[in-house]
Amino acid sequence: MALLAKLRCITVDVTGTLLAYKGELGDYYCMAAKSIGLPCPDYKRVHEGFKLAYSNMAKKHPCFGHRDKMPNIVWWKTCVRDSFISAGYDYDEDTFEKVFKRIYAMFGSSAPYTIFPDSQPFLRWARKNGLKVGIVSNSEYRYQEVILPALGLNQGTEWDFGVFSGIEGVEKPNPKIYQIALQKAGSIAPEETLHIGDSMRKDYLPAKSVGMHALLLDRFKTPDANDWRKSGAPVLDDLVAAQEWLTSENQTC
């Protein structure tokens, strides 16, 4: 029997699974700086500064400040300021405010993202086949309210419910985020649910730990995919292959 016949729900990761970033982080930070007449910051330094700042903020104030009731814009303002400072750009308050407003608005729109061409068709196909479709993402509220709809992924036509770390206060790889998804799906049993993502640590392992089926996508040909396969995880190129896999009689997950 094909796995599709056994399922009542599919949950899907966002970044790397349904959509990807266009270009590099430095492109957008540079555009923001140049828009107010500043020289373009060094791409590599800004990128490294952002990785450090984001990691520090995620540790101090996880889930985009949810635990500390920190407003989303304050979390990001601190992160962006620390990114620039780490990169060697300590702008005065007025200058930074102008740069930050442009960056915050840009990443709250569809501009920096590109949706994979198979994302919308796959989600609609799953719902047409009677499955509940949920989004499970380590992201803040703007993904649900602005970014996904702007990319043509709407609640009610492409997905039924969302579990976003910045809203729920729990993030992957904590298995609790998958338990929340099962509850939001209508207390559907984990063995009747498949999670699709692109990370062994954040998607596959925690989903499996609560009893769900799981599948990994390798859209970018990561070397890690070989180890994923060796461990027994099903790894596919895209959601077109995932649809074929779900209707096949011979799959393991």
E runs forming strands in the chain: 9-12, 19-21, 113-115, 132-137, 161-164, 193-197, 213-217, 235-236
What are the Cα distances from residue 69, in Å, to 54, 169, 174, 176, 177?
Answer: 18, 10, 20, 20, 19
Does position 24 have pLDDT exceeding 90, yes or no? no
What's the pLDDT tens digit per position in 180-238? 999 999 999 999 999 999 999 999 999 999 999 999 999 999 999 999 999 999 999 99
Task: Please tell me the chain's helix, strand, coil percentages from 3-state DSSP, rounded to the nearest 5.
Answer: 50, 15, 35
In angstroms, the CA 114 to CA 16 distance is 10
Q: What is the pLDDT of residue 249?
A: 74
| CATH class, range 25-108 | mainly alpha
**pLDDT given at position 25:** 87
User: What's the confidence (pLDDT) of residue 1?
Assistant: 80
**Gap between the terminal Cα atoms of the chain:** 14
DSSP three-state, residue 149: helix
Residue 147 φ/ψ, nearest 5 degrees: -70, -50
Contact 137, 166 (CB under 8 A): no
Place of tokens 């579990």: 163
- Chain region(s) in the chain for CATH 3.40.50.1000: 3-20+114-247
For residue 10, which phi and psi values (nearest 5 degrees)?
Answer: -130, 130
- What CATH code is assigned to 3-20+114-247? 3.40.50.1000
Is the pLDDT at 252 greater than 90, yes or no? no
pLDDT digits (tens, 9 = 90+) for 35-82: 999 999 999 999 999 999 999 999 999 999 999 999 999 999 999 999
CA distance 65 to 74: 9
pLDDT band at 251 (very low <50, low <70, confident <90, very high): low
Structure tokens at 67: 């635990």
pLDDT band, very low/low/confident/very high, at 23 (cuts 50, 70, 90): confident
- What mean pLDDT is predicted for residues 8-25? 95
Burial class of residue 5 in the structure, from the number of CB atoms within 10 Å of its CB (0-12 exposed, 13-18 middle, 19+ buried): exposed
pLDDT of residue 26: 85
0.75 surpassed by pTM: yes
Q: Using one digit for the tens of pLDDT, what is the confidence trace for 98-157?
A: 999 999 999 999 999 999 999 999 999 999 999 999 999 999 999 999 999 999 999 999
Tell me if 170 sits within 8 A of 180, measured CB to CB. Answer: yes
Domain with CATH 1.10.150.720 in the chain: 25-108
